[in-house]
Amino acid sequence: MTGSFQPRCVLVTGGAGFIGSNFVHVVLREQPELKVINLDKLTYAGNLANLSSLAKDERHVFVRGDVADAPLVNRLLKEHRPDALIHFAAESHVDRSIHGPADFLHTNVQGTFTLLECARAHAQERGADGFRYLQVSTDEVYGSLQPDADPFTEQHRFEPNSPYSATKADRKSTRLNSSH
């Protein structure tokens, strides 16, 4: 996190997963004044062992819970007053989405909607201070890439071809503040 935006506290969802936990480690190493509130449901992809080295670090607060649990998310936003929410949490893996799409709709769609609504209310409450919300997605929203094709960019059209990629295709990065 560089530039003029220097958060003091961030709420990270899915921070016990592979990518999320690596983000938490890096950001705490690079931002020694930062506090991270880490919300993870600890499903098949989350693993507390990924965070074991942070067990005694007071800057890291782990909360087991569901991103679709609005009362929990609102409580964390009110209690910790984070400057940003970084949303890694997701059901993943194409094969799992084909055999059981309901979990993907719950977490990737309903959970994302819940986070957006809670973040919007939090941003309005904060007023002019501003608040950042960052969605983390997957390249699979763009469809299949042919071996000789150029890499996808954010300008490519979404062409999801599985329940997993379709539930991730709603994700965009945005900045929330009281004027929206």
Determine how β-strand 84-87 pairs with β-strand 131-135. Answer: parallel
The gap between the terminal CA atoms of the chain, to the nearest Å, is 23
- H or E stretch covering 91: none
Report d(CA 14, CA 171) in Å as an integer. Answer: 15
Catalytic member of 57, 117, 139, 159 = 139
Which region holds residue 42: left if phi is over 0, alpha if psi is between -120 and 50, else beta?
Answer: left
Q: Which two tokens stand for residue 26?
A: 């890096």
CB neighbourhood size of 33 (10 A): 9
Catalytic member of 66, 133, 140, 142 = 140
Whether 140 is catalytic: yes
Whether 133 is catalytic: no
Whether 139 is catalytic: yes
> Would you please indicate which residues are annotated as catalytic (active-site) residues?
139-140, 164
